[in-house]
Amino acid sequence: MKLPGHRPGLPGKVISLCIVPLDPAYKAGLPGHVPAKGVWMKTEEELHVTAYRTYIFVWVGLVILTGLTYTVAVGLQAEGWAVLIALVIAGTKSGLVLNYFMHLKSERLTIFRVIIPLVMAVLLVFILLTFSDLAFRGGVK
């Protein structure tokens, strides 16, 4: 007996589950010992298979950014700017890794896309608070 909404899993298609209340007409036709809560309905979501080419493009970008970090660090003399630029470039690189290699870009759920920036924001707050303390300390090391 086929359940409503039942589709056999196809290669490349991913199945996630939700539970829906039983249709009364369907419920009437079920044998008595089947629990009356609901039935598994399977919805299929498209699986994102990233192309090799995308990965290679991202890799090239990462290597270029690495070279850029190196050049800027060796070329630039100002300490403050160099740190900032290095961190911005490092942030861009990790953004690339996160979005393309770790598939955050193709992630539908908002929670995943929000969660990393949230943690980074927490770290930023920690760093800012630490520095706001350090900057106003006296001569104590």
Residues near another protein, by CB under 8 A = 1, 3, 6, 8-9, 11-12, 14-17, 30-31, 33-35, 39-40, 42, 45, 47, 49-52, 55-56, 58-59, 62-63, 66, 69-70, 73-74, 76-79, 82, 86-87, 89-90, 93-94, 97-98, 100-102, 108-109, 112, 115-116, 119-120, 122-123, 126-127, 130-131, 134, 141
- Which residues have CB under 8 Å from 40's CB, separation 6+? 3, 17, 19
Q: Where are the beta strands (DSSP E) in the chain?
A: 13-21, 38-46
Q: How far is the CB of 78 from another protein (least distance, A)?
A: 8
Q: How far is the CB of 25 from another protein (least distance, A)?
A: 16
For another protein, give the closer residue by CB, 12 or 24: 12
- Hey, CA dihedral for 108, 110, 116, 120, is it positive or negative? positive
Token readout for 42 is 């399977």
Question: To the nearest whole angstrom, how small is the minimum distance from the Cβ of residue 135 to another protein?
Answer: 8
Return the closest-CA partner of residue 97 out of 73, 65, 69, 121. 65
User: Which residues are bridge partners to 13 per DSSP?
Assistant: 46
